[in-house]
Homo-oligomer: A and B are copies of this chain.
Amino acid sequence: MNKASLILLSIFFSFTALAQKEDSLQIKTIYNIALEEGHAYKNLRSLCKDVGARLSGSPEAEKAVSWAKNLLESYQFDKVWLMPVKVPHWIRGDIEQAGVNGTAMSIKTLGGSVSSNGRIEANVIEIQNFEELATLGEAKVKGKIVFYNRAFDRKLISTGNAYGACVNQRWSGASKASVYGAVGVFVRSLSHLKDKHAHTGSMGYEEGIQKIPSVALSVQDADMLSELLKTQPNAMAYLNVNSQTLADKDSYNVIAEIKGSIEPDKIITFGGHLDSWDVGEGAHDDGAGVVHSIEALRILKAIAYQPRYTLRCVLFMNEENGNNGGKTYAAVAKEKGEVHIAALESDAGGFVPRGFTMDGTEEQVKQMQSWEPLLEPYNLHIFKKGWGGVDIKPLKSQNVPLIGLRPDDQRYFDHHHSDTDVFENVHQRELELGAASFASMIFLIDKYGLGTPPQLKMEKE
């Protein structure tokens, strides 16, 4: 290497060190505002207490749209608008009863389930998985309530992986059992926590198969029922739910943006979902993601950051039972020929943040990993390939790198889709740290992009 190159190199490294110092200070400022003058916690309180649970199609979901629009407008971003989204409209009935041998169990009808059309009485057959169901066949299943009781695997460190290994019972259990003549389905709640709260969630029916009602049992009741069946295999259970699916309704994604100062036609989208299940208050799922996203945009405006690209906060409607908000957003983006630099989602709760996973190319993941030293002081340590988010997933076909905020997940499924997903179960500082982490990642992507790192480009030139 000659002397000129050496000088250039040393200038380059001085520049890099200076840039890192600047970035550090910017990120520190973001965290300071989130922790000292944050709005995330009070905004979440308002969403949980003034709006509450907000399932797609419900009056509360409509209220949530107004709530979000008003809040975003109050922050005077460059633009706030509603994007129309057609959503399904399922409603839990006022009857929700199940039990065994006359003893009531704590249940939640699964979202999408049909009514039982009155009280069903039947024997129960407990199974662990679909293979077992197929082996038992019509001879053992016909006329019975099938009880899916596969529990979370405690050995899995990630509770998300434990959930992933059980969720097919909830989603597909009814149709799989109906094929063999079952009359209803009990599903063990998808949670580690052995309490009295049943956890709802989406289920679907396969075409052309008789639709039977499907409900979640609380983990305590699932254990009780399983114990009881060991000694009383012919115990009589009952099930009575009157949920129904009405006509689709009109709803909206709520969107706000700050225009890019250099390349306004390129967009960084980040968001959470505004809808929730119709139980609890949708505090962690996904009130946290909603307020993380709003707070990220608010903080970046508060520090007068001039983004290179357009920063767009999207509060998606209908993640829980259809993902029509996410699908509509991607379709509109495609139709308009919008270019997305990246899409980020916070939909894993308001717990203490651990880092980010990215559904993107190796190069993009490496670029994200290069920022670890800047974020390590905030205890962020996960920077790897992985899941982005349900709402942003439809952008994948447009080659947009998808990034998911990863809060600690040990407590997430304790509350997920249950009566306990309320504001009181969210910790203020953990929520605020999540918002700051989200804002910092958006800042870094805006500053450095996610293509070939600018540093490497300089070296090549």
User: A interface vs B, CB < 8 Å?
Assistant: 31-32, 35-36, 154-155, 157, 159, 192, 352, 354, 377-379, 381-382, 408, 410-411, 414, 427-430, 433
Contacts and interface: CB of A to CB of B under 8 A. Distances in A.
A410 B432 CA distance: 11
Nearest to A429: B410
Contact of A32 (B155, B381, B410, B433): B155
A379 B411 CA distance: 15
A154 B430 CA distance: 12
Given A32-B155, A155-B31, A410 B430 contact: yes
Contacts of A159: 429
A281 to B, nearest CB: 20
Given A32-B155, A354-B379, A408 B408 contact: yes
A429 B35 contact: no
Given A31-B157, A154-B36, A157-B31, A410 B381 contact: no
Nearest to A378: B157
A362 B247 CA distance: 68
Given A192-B429, A429-B192, A157 B379 contact: yes
A433 B379 CA distance: 18
Given A154-B429, A352-B410, 9 more contacts: A36-B155, A157-B433, A159-B429, A352-B352, A354-B379, A379-B408, A410-B427, A410-B433, A414-B427
A149 to B, nearest CB: 17
A7 to B, nearest CB: 34
A377 B156 CA distance: 10
Contacts of A428: 192
A410 B35 CA distance: 12
Nearest to A155: B32
Closest 7 CB pairs of A and B: A381-B381, A35-B154, A32-B155, A36-B154, A410-B429, A352-B410, A410-B430
A155 B378 CA distance: 11
A410 B408 CA distance: 12
Most buried by B among A32, A154, A155, A382: A154
6 contacts: A31-B157, A192-B428, A352-B410, A379-B382, A408-B408, A411-B427
